[in-house]
Amino acid sequence: MNRYPGKEKGILIVISGFSGAGKGTLVKSLISRYGNYALSVSMTTRNPRPGETDGVEYFFTDRENFEKTIAEGGLVEYAEYCGNYYGTPKAYVDSKLAEGKDIILEIEIQGALKIKKQFPDSLLLFVTPPDADTLKNRLTGRGTETEDVILKRMARAQEESEGIEAYDYIVVNDNLDECVDEVHELVSAARRSPVRRQDFIKEIREELLTYAKGAQK
Amino acid sequence: MNRYPGKEKGILIVISGFSGAGKGTLVKSLISRYGNYALSVSMTTRNPRPGETDGVEYFFTDRENFEKTIAEGGLVEYAEYCGNYYGTPKAYVDSKLAEGKDIILEIEIQGALKIKKQFPDSLLLFVTPPDADTLKNRLTGRGTETEDVILKRMARAQEESEGIEAYDYIVVNDNLDECVDEVHELVSAARRSPVRRQDFIKEIREELLTYAKGAQK
């Protein structure tokens, strides 16, 4: 019997959050600390860079095949940046989830909402620093942007903050170590929601019905 | 600043589940193991039993005052059993939540749905044994009921199982110790949902807006 959390189908985890919230580091730490997570591998039409391997960093393909995949409904979400397509292959996600892997997608809110529509049992996490000053300090601390660019990113964060209610959980990234454990706890909690325990519900209902019929004799 | 989980308003936790699922033991263990939980104290019109203290086991009152409290909307839910009223006083729950206590109500699904309507940020947990055979064994193991009564309880459980999807989480009570920790984790997770972090969302939005205005100059 395959009834206990952790032995079932994986969870599709969508991670969004402000630029500067520390999503990348959080995801890397999560994967290295716990065994059950894997980053989703995107399909792209951009050329491989030296050292990149097809199927590891990306699935590399050409525009014709990418557009054919879109037309066939083979991508759960996609976008075009700088003349190249990037998308999430549905077959890849489905097969990893079936293996029991918890698949992480790091995408923006528009993509997140598309995922939730196609995978109602996906888990949407929004990562945020504890306050706006911390966000600004982190962006400033990178030392690579002008004050003007930083303020534009803050304005972008303000726009993104309008979508927070669409997420299942808000993850405040104050201390990275605690934050990694917190995300892991949220994923464990998610396994207990009825939408992710449908097989269990169906089985126990059938069993109870058998007993209930005995009672009605 | 009061922005971190655990320092905020308490969570109203509704625990339902099949008779025989072990709800009572679970709740007792939860309260004794962790500091932040308290059982809600109900108001009742039944007479105090020897050793019972007003405000501890129950708030004892008469029918006239109970019905006045109903009429004033002072109860979040109530029911009548064996000629006596039992209900949950709204003022009591509100004040405990304001103190930061996580208040536990052990009630059936009809009451649970009423609570969710009045407290949209309440947390609804459904406790179940791992399978119907285990439930039957637990009911039989009590040794106090005839086979016929046990089958009727199983039939009642089957009816109750129709409502599981209304709950936020399903808690499988296989091992009590693990189950107590699991419930505690679910309550911690609940503190991260947007519906329970509205103050945080509001504050960070306002802060970001201040920066965003700077960017638009």
Secondary structure class of A109 (helix, strand, coil): helix
Structure confidence by residue, pLDDT tens digits, A102-156: 999 998 888 899 899 989 899 999 999 999 999 999 888 877 788 888 898 899 9
Residue of A nearest to B164 (CA): A194
The domain A1-36+101-217 having CATH identifier 3.40.50.300: the answer here is yes
B1-36+102-217: CATH topology: Rossmann fold (3.40.50)
pLDDT tens-digit series, residues A156-215 = 999 999 999 999 999 999 999 999 999 999 999 999 999 999 999 999 999 999 998 887
In chain B, residues with a C-beta closer than 8 Å to the C-beta of A158 are 205, 208-209, 211-212
Alpha helices in A36-120 (DSSP H): 63-71, 90-98, 109-118
User: Does this chain's domain B1-36+102-217 share its CATH topology with B41-99?
Assistant: no
* pLDDT-derived band at A19, boundaries 50, 70, 90: confident
Q: Is the pLDDT of residue A8 over 90?
A: no
Amino acid A94: pLDDT: 93
Local mean pLDDT, 10-residue blocks, chain B (217 residues):
57 93 92 93 94 93 96 93 92 93 92 89 95 92 83 91 94 94 95 92 94 76
Cα distance between residue A49 and residue A46, in whole Å = 9
Closest Cβ–Cβ partner in A131, A204, A215 for B132:
A204
Please state which CATH number belongs to domain A41-99. Answer: 3.30.63.10
At residue B3, the pLDDT reads 44
* ipTM of the predicted assembly exceeds 0.85: no
Q: What DSSP state is assigned to residue A106?
A: E
* Closest Cβ opposite residue A164 in set B128, B186, B201: B201
What are the φ/ψ torsions at residue B116 (nearest 5 degrees)?
A: -60, -35
**What pLDDT does B5 receive?**
46
Segments making up each domain of chain B, as ranges: 1-36+102-217, 41-99
3-state SS record for A121-182: CCEEEEEECCCHHHHHHHHHHCCCCCHHHHHHHHHHHHHHHCCHHHCCEEEECCCHHHHHHH
pLDDT single digits (tens) A187-203 = 999 999 999 999 999 99
Q: State whether residue A178 sits within 8 Å of chain B by CB.
A: no
| pLDDT computed for residue B110 by the predictor | 86
Average pLDDT for A62-84: 94
